[in-house]
Amino acid sequence: GFRYYMVNNCEFNSSKLNDIEYTQSYYYNKLEYIRFSSSVGKFVGYTEHGIKNAERWNNGPEVISRRAQKESYCFRNVGVLTESALTKS
pLDDT tens per residue across span 15-31: 777 888 999 999 999 99
Backbone angles phi, psi at 3, to 5 degrees: -130, 125
pLDDT tens per residue across span 46-86: 999 999 999 999 999 999 999 988 888 888 888 776 666 66
Is 18 strand, coil or helix? helix
Domain boundaries, the chain: 4-82
Q: Would you state the torsion angle of the CA atoms of residues 85, 72, 42, 3, taken in this order, to the nearest 10 degrees?
A: 70
Beta-bridge mates of residue 10: 22
Q: How far is CA 32 from the centre of its chain?
A: 13
Q: Which CATH number fits domain 4-82: 3.10.320.10, 3.90.340.10, 1.10.260.40, 3.60.15.10?
A: 3.10.320.10
